[in-house]
Amino acid sequence: MRKPPATMRFRQRANVYQTIDPLERDGLIAARETTREEKRPERTVYELTDEGNHTVRLWVHEALSTPKREFPEFPVAIAYLPLLAPEDTLRQLETRVAALELEVARIESQLRGDAVVVPRLFLLEMEYLRAMLQSELEWVRTVIGCPPQATPRAYGATHHHSK
């Protein structure tokens, strides 16, 4: 199994139900209780079944131990850089640098505050996200410093001009 049985992030409320239904149908979760507060919609609390617990543990083991190729949008957009004028590319990347700097600063601030009261185990996800964003930020800065339209170069080799 390469991915969790359902999406873990929900962009819209309807997506929650599109996720819950197959999990329940596959016996991975079960309704624990349903309540209704005055003038509020019905609320159902779900819990993992034994099969669900086993499945999620298998997925976590694989996700932690086995690197895989993921497909975020940014590398796809990089493949289409030839469609943009060099000045436009530079402007877009500078905008991305500013956004990355803000996000890294926000995460660092949150980590500083949380580290006082939260064990590191529960901060690892944020630490990882910060590291990935910092790495991307460093890379984008190098692209801005040596634009893609520059003369091609051999990776890992010094470029020599012959006369």
Q: Are residues 22 and 77 in the same domain?
A: no
Verify that 50 and 92 share a domain, yes or no.
no
Beta strands in the chain (DSSP E): 29-35, 43-48
d(CA 40, CA 19): 22
The pLDDT of residue 51 is: 96
E strand map for 56-100: none
Same domain membership, residue 90 and residue 53: no
Q: 60 with 122, same domain?
A: no
Residue 33 neighbours by CB under 8 Å, 6+ apart: 44, 45
Considering the domain boundaries, does residue 132 fall inside one?
Answer: yes
The pLDDT mean for the chain works out to 84
Which pTM was predicted? 0.67
Q: What is the pLDDT of residue 8?
A: 46
Would you state the pLDDT for residue 53?
Answer: 94
In a domain, 81, yes or no: yes
Burial class (CB within 10 angstroms; exposed 0-12, middle 13-18, buried 19+) of 119 = exposed
Is residue 114, in this structure, part of any structural domain at all?
yes
Q: Residue 123: which domain range?
A: 73-145
User: Do 81 and 50 belong together in one domain?
Assistant: no
Question: Tens digit of pLDDT for each residue in 114-123?
Answer: 888 999 999 9
Q: What is the pLDDT of residue 32?
A: 94
23, 48, 65 — which closes off a domain? 65
Tell me whether residue 152 is in a domain: no
Number of domains within the chain: 2
Tokens of 75: 């590398």
Taking only Cα atoms into account, the Rg of the chain, rounded to an integer number of angstroms, comes to: 23
Distance CA 28, CA 48 (A): 6
Instruction: Report if residue 22 sits inside a domain.
Output: yes
pLDDT of residue 161: 46
* Residues 81 and 59 placed together within one structural domain of the fold: no
pLDDT score, position 150: 62
Whether residue 109 is found in the same domain as residue 127: yes
| pLDDT < 70 stretches in the chain | 1-14, 147-163
What does the alpha-carbon distance between residue 58 and residue 53 come to, in Å, rounded to a whole number? 9
Residues 103 and 138 in one domain: yes
Residue 155: the pLDDT is 53
Q: How far is CA 6 from CA 2, 3, 18, 57, 59, in A?
A: 11, 8, 9, 14, 11
